[in-house]
Structure 1
Amino acid sequence: MAEHPHAQLVRKGYAAFERGDMDTLRELMASDCTQHVPGSHPLSGDYKGMDAIIEMYGRLAAETNGTMRAELRSLLVDGRGHVVAVHRFSADRNGKHIDENGAIIFRIVGDKATDLDECVEDIDRANDFWS
């Protein structure tokens, strides 16, 4: 059976993110897309609009000297516009290392991601890592 189109879109996005291919990511997001980053650290908050999200991705790469990885583990689809992407997140920053599970809940309308809700395994660990 073929993979659901929403799962294909998210899989393509993870592959582009890993390559640093921001042009492809722009093609997959609605211009008014929002990404919600949990926590109480300098990078947490709501990033509204494709440009703000892409800029935040650049900050993630810069803050981790390019060590950040989000290895896609599984995709769950509801067929109504939601995809849950489970990944393994790892990075090094300022002498700290993080390696834990994470997820992003995608809302997809048509063939574009419109909302990304990020979830982390340990919010305190994430806050410490990014602070």
Structure 2
Amino acid sequence: MGEANKNLELISRFFECYGSGDLETMKRDILAEDVTWIIPGHHPLAGVKKGADEIIQYFATIAKANFKAEVISLSASEHNVVDVHRGWGEYGEYKVDMNWVLVYTIENGRIKSAQNFAADQHVADQFFWNVWGDDLKPVPERLKG
């Protein structure tokens, strides 16, 4: 099996683990220990996640909004996979439903890095703020207006 096919299989397994909530298998078999994951935007969960533990915690956190993903397309080369998927979630009155694109770098049969792109970053930011905004620590006095 060529590297591209192995990489497609790895990302398919990632989505299986994500869909079933099997974060332990994801951590043990799919993510590199020193993986980085870039979550775009200006919201409480945005930023660079570093290491398998931090990424697993991120996925556990977004489970609060019942996030689901349905793969639309996967393409692969020797070191990269691009996935296009529909991602949606709901928390109370707040909902998000859009396409997302992720670009993965694969090393030694594991996800080494991932970069997320939202179809509408403003909608994603608003959703994440609505769901997780109250979980943030208060803004220090020196940073207020």
TM-score, normalising length: structure 1: 0.92
Displacement of 1:93 in angstroms is 2.2
Corresponding residue of 1:14:
15
The total of aligned residue pairs comes to 127
Corresponding residue of 2:60:
58
1:84 partner letter: V
- Note the residue ranges of structure 1 that are not aligned, 5 or more in a row: none
2:71 partner letter: L
2:108 partner letter: G
Q: Sequence identity of aligned pairs in percent? A: 28
Corresponding residue of 2:46:
44
Report runs of 4+ in structure 1 exceeding 4 Å deviation.
none
1:18 partner letter: G
- Distance (whole Å) between structure 1 residues aligned to residue 37 and residue 109 of structure 2: 17
Displacement of 1:94 in angstroms is 4.0
State which of 85, 88, 107 in structure 2 corresponds to 1:87.
85
- Distance (whole Å) between structure 1 residues aligned to residue 13 and residue 6 of structure 2: 10
State which of 95, 98, 101 in structure 1 corresponds to 2:99.
101
1:33 partner letter: V
Deviations 1:33-67 (A, max 9, x none): 011000000000010000000001111012x1xx2
More helix by share: 2
- Distance (whole Å) between structure 2 residues aligned to residue 22 and residue 60 of structure 1: 12
- Distance (whole Å) between structure 1 residues aligned to residue 68 and residue 16 of structure 2: 11
- Distance (whole Å) between structure 2 residues aligned to residue 24 and residue 10 of structure 1: 13
1:14 partner letter: F
Q: Give RMSD over aligned pairs.
A: 1.5
- Distance (whole Å) between structure 2 residues aligned to residue 83 and residue 5 of structure 1: 10
1:24 partner letter: T
More strand by share: 1
- Note the residue ranges of structure 2 that are not aligned, 5 or more in a row: 130-145
Larger Rg over CA atoms: 2
TM-score, normalising length: structure 2: 0.83
